Structure 1
Amino acid sequence: MRIFIKAGITTAIGLLICTSAAKAEELKVANQSQASSVKLASKNSRDKSIAKSSQTLALNDAIIFLDKKLNLVANNPKNTLQDRLRQSNQQQTNPITSGSVKDISSLFPADAALVAFINIKPENWENLTRFHLFHMAKQTFLKFMPKEANFNYARDIQSWLGDEVGVVFMPKVGNNPVTMESTFVMVFPVTNDMRVQSFLDEVTKDKEKVKIREYQGVKIFEVKTNTSEIPVTKPLPAPKAAKPVTQPFPEALEKLKSRRENNLAIATFPGYVVLGLDSKPLEQLIDTKNGSRANISANPELQLLTQQHQAPGVLFSMYQNPVAYIALFKDLIKDIAKDLPPESSGILSSSFLNFENINLEQLKAYKSINSSLRSQPEGMRFQVQTYLAKLTPEEKLKSANKSSKNKREEAIIARMPAATYSAITGSNINLYWQALSRGLETIPEVKKGLTGFREFVKTTTSLDFDKDFIGWMDKEYGFFTFPTKGGLFKFFSPNANFGIGFIIKTSNRSAAENTLTKLEQLIKSVSKGEVIVNNTNMKGQNVTSWDVKAGDFSYMKGQNITSLGVKADNFSPFAYSWIEQDTLLVTTGFGAISDLVPKPYVQLSDTYNFTTATNSLPYPNKGYFYVNMGSSLSLIYSFIPQVYQQNEFVKVFKEAIGSIYSISATTSQTEETQQADMLMVLAPTRK
């Protein structure tokens, strides 16, 4: 179940990011479509373009509307003077609340599905631009701002807004399906209520667009933000030339349709401004503020989150109620799918509606999921903490953290070469497989597939997959990819300097040897003598390789056969060696294993890149995931034709992803929590 929850967290964050990006790209497409229509189209086609654009400018309208009102307040000397006088009087009679995350959480209902806090101190976010990746991101973001907006954060926002923003997804009301409008609310603590009042005074001047009503003594401003107007009455001059318009974004993105009205709902009370897309979720928040329903601030896990949010460098924190969150997520996916063209809607639905198979009763074993994003000297750190109500049978089955630093685990990493592309380490594959298969077998379709797979293995090898292949893998393991000039992948391409290695410790060597022996007998029988099992002494280490008669590999002609992992006239796709009494090393061929036996020339555990990527992660833990982005990208680029590498988009992409030095992650566990940490080590900004 932990896998599903983590996937849910990642998907939710990705969904919010992608939704924002899609809206920004949609905005750009719409603006370009307008310009193209004015220059190229007839009046009839121009009217169609305008109608279409008016459907896709909801975000644009909201930004421009708010920006316009904020500018009017900021640039009106009369308002500014009145603000100062009113604020001085207010500070004497009605001090502003601190607007801390603890204060904000007291406004959120106890049964909220998701609660998040965003630190908006400008210095914290500006500090991120010391990393080249975020420097590029900032420049890209500025390009997507509407040209009509004259937004100035320091002038328009910072002068009256607090340091934190709260986000909440309100609970469902009855059996009504959830939409973004019915659930989403943002809370902004303010340090100058009078500045907000001046802003609302400007808003209410648009009598046709603003409706004011009162709920529980709080005024709610319902605003229609349609501000995009394109004159179509004037005749246009004949175009000088008709050039084909190149659309920079996928056609499906252009076809995004909006059934939603361009609305905002705004409410204020001392110390806060509340913003939503509809007034209904604002009413729920007002009920919580007035004490009509319990708030979430007493929740122990949320209290831990608010404490952690105060740590240096924390930019974002999120609390999730697993059961309510999954139900919310299902409804939001269905709601978003309605806004997409049929071809895209079908893909989205089929991709995410498998969440219907999640057993909500099983999720009750998890009290909450807390996550956070923060910067640290090396780069960016993402952390997820799952609080357990009780240990499930699957979790009891899994091995716990190692209580002290384990030299055997260090030995696993020491067997990997310094230039390793990627690595995964851990322990007890057998127990994890048992837990995973038990969980998957609760899904009928997956259970049928597993049964078929096991039967296939039994039929073709006469071996039991669970017992003969997995059963003896009960200690530490390491799976890694690394650069090598020999081995299996040379069969496919002479440029494939790539190998795969697997190191496994076992308490039952005889079972492992029995499996290998039976496989060797089988492969020799099936190949009818085309595969030869060879034993070689390599620097005092016994190595067994499966060698296939090479035949006529044209790309090998004129090359050193031995360097390609080919002995005499044979090609070796598989090799293994017992490098210790209880430790088996398996690689993709004789040439690949020759780079690792008896030990790599430089070990991964001694490299600066690996130690920087893992030193700040929790220990003890359940193993590491590690990617060396530099060496991995070099391999990937070697397969991309040079003509594509000159593409401007590819160049920008390479610059961005090339600024990531490494990605690493680990998981750890106590009796009450499961924790996952991921670290992205980033390059400094390039001058």
Structure 2
Amino acid sequence: MPASKSKILIPVISAAVVVTGGIAAYMFLKGGPIGDGAGALGSAKVVPSSAIVATYITTDPQAWAKLQQFGTPEAQQLLNKGLESFNKDVFKDSNISYEKDIKPWVGGVMVAMLPPNPVKPAQFNPPTGAPTQPSKLQSEPKVLFVVGIKDKIAALNFGNKLKAQKGIKIQETDYKGEKITETSESENSKPTYSVVLNNSQIVLAPEKQTIEQAIDTYKGQASFASKEGANSILSKGVDVKNTLAQIYIPDYAGMVKQLAAANPQGTQLPPQTLKQLEQVKSMVAGVGVDDAGLRLKAIANLDPQLNKFQYQNTPAKIVGQFPADTLALVSGQGISRAWTTVLEQSKDYPEFNQAVAQVRQQLKSTVDLDLDKEVLGWMDGEFAVGAIPSNQGILASVGFGGALLFDTSDRKTAESTLSKLDDLIKKQTLTVAQKDIGGKKVTEWQTPQGALLAHGWLDQDTVFVALGSPIADAIAGNKTQTLENSDNFKAVTGSLQKPNGGYFYLDMDKTMTIFNRFAAFQPVPPEANAILNSIRGLGVTATSPDKSVSQVEMLLALKPKTTK
């Protein structure tokens, strides 16, 4: 069996072999099938409290079967082919079948990451004369798997079947009354360690010490479930239908610090960065599948004393100013307020402040514009930037153009800023001219090939800047249908939480049409194309009920299952 496949099979083998424990175990097993343990919370009770992050993956067939309602025939065929290949390659030269022998007894799986052990100076031998920093040298983070047993009899039968397989070396040792099994394929292969706890959970790891830590936790030492910040996110989780997986981070800042320290090439995080990280206390995220597609939700629990960002819901009216064929959009609220927050939180970053100072000086010297007041200061309302298909004028070669829209309470300053930019363009080789579009006065920067840029007012408070004359026509003209009323936008964003702070929206079909124009000499592989053709679009939004919570929701909208 190839070494790469062995890495996949060995944990499964070692997990099952240890289930076979003699007559006494069999008598206990006669109790019959049980549930998926106690779910994420039950699995977390045998994970050491030192774990920095844990992911729980469900094996509920009903949840995963929900995915079968989506996809083109090509995508379905690709998925089936991949599963068949996995089964054949992993269990090559054996009579083991994942579907028949493993799937019936494997419950939910938790994967936890524990912090790495510091590398001792003796373990590191740098080149002669090279400086050493032993305190920063770290090993890889440690990984721990907790597999629930939902059917003990099926697990026993699988264990017996595995014992008949050739080439598997098994060695058992005792630790505090629990039997640790070391499994390997050869003398030179790296072993896998496992233990069965309470006949309902199998714990696996590449290192024996990690298994011993799990046993210590099972015997009463502090667990991930009892860790501050972990119990609440484990219990509540994230509200998504047909949950496939959830990830739990009880100490976000601590996780980033330890992962940064684990990188031998990494540099120490500056105090300013650590202070920013401390705004996020804990985080939980989950992915599930519903009638619209794959949905991900993430919740960050914040420290309200450190969180300086003032969140605001957007009225989402600006989306209605874009045409229905818009292929991508990003919208939000209050650029000027966000800029003020960024400046405040970055005052201790010399490099950032130096870059900002250079931009301020450049704008002042070339256009006589004040970055803070005349460029960003009047952008205090809703805003959006969108990509719109077009094959006309200067956009003919690329196939699309862009538009920026801003709602402002300071029209006077906005007009003054645009006027200064017009004056600068007049001094160049371009022509600045006026045009009427749908009864609206529009200013264009014209070239012999067509208008390069256009700007104007859609109403008293909304200004637009468009790349290319066709885009200006699409924004300022009288539209028969707008983006917010289009079927695709409603399908991709309609089920996202409202009110919210804005949208990220992507129409996959229109985007791929543009992409394929540039990929003519290097087309997308058929496998990737099959998957992309099954996606209707992507929608993302964020909400914040108060300064202590921030939520992100993402929907990968999938096309309903079709047949040839």
Tell me, yes or no, if structure 1 residue 423 matches structure 2 residue 351. no
The answer to whether the 8 A contact 1:67-1:151 is kept is: no
Q: Which has the higher contact order (CA 8 A, sep 6+)?
A: 2
Q: Per the alignment, do residues 88 and 114 of structure 1 end up closer, same or farther by CA in structure 2, a change over 3 Å counting?
A: closer
In structure 1, the residue matched to 2:144 is 185
User: CA shift at 1:317, angstroms?
Assistant: 0.4
* Helix, strand or coil at the partner of 1:394: coil
Tell me, yes or no, if structure 1 residue 476 matches structure 2 residue 382. yes
User: CA shift at 1:377, angstroms?
Assistant: 0.5
The answer to whether the 8 A contact 1:545-1:572 is kept is: yes
User: CA shift at 1:470, angstroms?
Assistant: 0.7
Q: TM-score under structure 1 normalisation?
A: 0.70
User: CA shift at 1:86, angstroms?
Assistant: 2.2
Q: Per the alignment, do residues 262 and 173 of structure 1 end up closer, same or farther by CA in structure 2, a change over 3 Å counting?
A: closer
The answer to whether the 8 A contact 2:18-2:159 is kept is: no
In structure 2, the residue matched to 1:371 is 285
User: CA shift at 1:464, angstroms?
Assistant: 1.6
Q: Per the alignment, do residues 175 and 450 of structure 1 end up closer, same or farther by CA in structure 2, a change over 3 Å counting?
A: farther
Tell me, yes or no, if structure 1 residue 219 matches structure 2 residue 187. no
Match of 1:265 among 193, 210, 216: 193
Question: Where do residues 300-319 of structure 1 align in structure 2 (5 Å cutoff)?
Answer: 302-308=231-237, 312-319=241-248
The answer to whether the 8 A contact 1:419-1:482 is kept is: yes
User: CA shift at 1:192, angstroms?
Assistant: 4.7
Partner deviation per Cα, 1:282-308 (whole Å, 9 max, x = no partner) = 222222211123542475554344444
Q: Per the alignment, do residues 90 and 313 of structure 1 end up closer, same or farther by CA in structure 2, a change over 3 Å counting?
A: closer
Match of 1:466 among 372, 375, 379: 372
User: CA shift at 1:197, angstroms?
Assistant: 6.2
The answer to whether the 8 A contact 1:485-1:592 is kept is: no
In structure 1, the residue matched to 2:85 is 143
In structure 2, the residue matched to 1:502 is 404
Tell me, yes or no, if structure 1 residue 161 matches structure 2 residue 106. yes
The answer to whether the 8 A contact 1:484-1:498 is kept is: yes
User: CA shift at 1:369, angstroms?
Assistant: 0.8
The answer to whether the 8 A contact 1:219-1:268 is kept is: yes
* Helix, strand or coil at the partner of 2:496: coil
User: CA shift at 1:417, angstroms?
Assistant: 0.6
The answer to whether the 8 A contact 2:170-2:182 is kept is: yes
Q: 1:225, 1:482 → 2: CA distance?
A: 57
In structure 1, the residue matched to 2:134 is none
Q: 1:413, 1:275 → 2: CA distance?
A: 50
Match of 2:320 among 414, 420, 424: 414
Q: Per the alignment, do residues 650 and 83 of structure 1 end up closer, same or farther by CA in structure 2, a change over 3 Å counting?
A: farther
* Helix, strand or coil at the partner of 2:525: helix
The answer to whether the 8 A contact 1:64-1:227 is kept is: no
Q: 2:355, 2:495 → 1: CA distance?
A: 40
Q: TM-score under structure 2 normalisation?
A: 0.85
Moved more, 670-679 or 288-297: 288-297
Question: Where do residues 314-333 of structure 1 align in structure 2 (5 Å cutoff)?
Answer: 314-320=243-249, 321-330=251-260
In structure 2, the residue matched to 1:674 is 550
Question: Where do residues 15-414 of structure 1 align in structure 2 (5 Å cutoff)?
Answer: 57=3, 59-65=4-10, 86-87=27-28, 98-132=37-71, 135=76, 136-144=78-86, 145-146=89-90, 147-148=92-93, 150-162=95-107, 164-173=108-117, 179-180=139-140, 183-193=142-152, 209-226=169-186, 262-270=190-198, 271-297=200-226, 299=228, 302-308=231-237, 312-320=241-249, 321-330=251-260, 334=264, 353=266, 356-357=269-270, 359-395=273-309, 398-401=310-313, 406=315, 409-410=316-317, 412-414=318-320
Q: 1:96, 1:581 → 2: CA distance?
A: 62
* Helix, strand or coil at the partner of 1:638: helix
In structure 1, the residue matched to 2:360 is 454
The answer to whether the 8 A contact 1:225-1:264 is kept is: no
The answer to whether the 8 A contact 1:661-1:681 is kept is: yes
In structure 1, the residue matched to 2:504 is 625
Q: Per the alignment, do residues 545 and 328 of structure 1 end up closer, same or farther by CA in structure 2, a change over 3 Å counting?
A: same
The answer to whether the 8 A contact 1:102-1:297 is kept is: no
The answer to whether the 8 A contact 1:71-1:156 is kept is: no
Question: Which structure: greater helix fraction?
Answer: 1
The answer to whether the 8 A contact 2:391-2:400 is kept is: yes
User: CA shift at 1:206, angstroms?
Assistant: 8.8
The answer to whether the 8 A contact 1:63-1:149 is kept is: no
The answer to whether the 8 A contact 2:102-2:158 is kept is: no
Tell me, yes or no, if structure 1 residue 609 matches structure 2 residue 488. yes
Q: Identity of aligned pairs, percent? A: 22
User: CA shift at 1:437, angstroms?
Assistant: 4.1
Moved more, 451-460 or 282-291: 451-460
User: CA shift at 1:91, angstroms?
Assistant: 6.8
Partner deviation per Cα, 1:202-244 (whole Å, 9 max, x = no partner) = 669999943322222212122233399xxxxxxxxxxxxxxxx
Partner deviation per Cα, 1:88-121 (whole Å, 9 max, x = no partner) = 65679xx999432222222223342001111012
Q: 2:390, 2:483 → 1: CA distance?
A: 15
* Helix, strand or coil at the partner of 2:475: coil
Q: Give the partner amino acid of 1:541.
A: K
Question: Which structure: greater strand fraction?
Answer: 2
Match of 2:454 among 553, 575, 578: 575
Match of 1:521 among 423, 431, 434: 423
Over the residues paired in the alignment, what is the CA RMSD in angstroms? 3.5
Q: Give the partner amino acid of 2:232.
A: Q
Partner deviation per Cα, 1:397-419 (whole Å, 9 max, x = no partner) = x33335xxx3xx32x11110111
The answer to whether the 8 A contact 1:441-1:447 is kept is: yes
In structure 1, the residue matched to 2:559 is 683
In structure 2, the residue matched to 1:432 is 338
The answer to whether the 8 A contact 2:384-2:405 is kept is: yes
Q: 2:178, 2:351 → 1: CA distance?
A: 52
Q: Give the partner amino acid of 2:110.
A: G
Partner deviation per Cα, 1:121-165 (whole Å, 9 max, x = no partner) = 233223313322763345335435334455423432233333x11
Q: 2:420, 2:456 → 1: CA distance?
A: 16
Q: 2:356, 2:185 → 1: CA distance?
A: 54
In structure 1, the residue matched to 2:133 is none
Moved more, 270-279 or 294-303: 294-303
User: CA shift at 1:539, angstroms?
Assistant: 3.0
* Helix, strand or coil at the partner of 1:595: helix
Q: Per the alignment, do residues 540 and 88 of structure 1 end up closer, same or farther by CA in structure 2, a change over 3 Å counting?
A: closer
Partner deviation per Cα, 1:604-634 (whole Å, 9 max, x = no partner) = 1111110111111111110000011111111
Match of 2:439 among 540, 553, 560: 540
User: CA shift at 1:64, angstroms?
Assistant: 4.4
The answer to whether the 8 A contact 1:265-1:277 is kept is: yes
In structure 2, the residue matched to 1:45 is none
Aligned length: 536
In structure 2, the residue matched to 1:235 is none
Q: 1:496, 1:62 → 2: CA distance?
A: 46
Q: Give the partner amino acid of 2:436.
A: N
* Helix, strand or coil at the partner of 1:636: helix
In structure 1, the residue matched to 2:476 is 597
Q: Give the partner amino acid of 2:209.
A: K
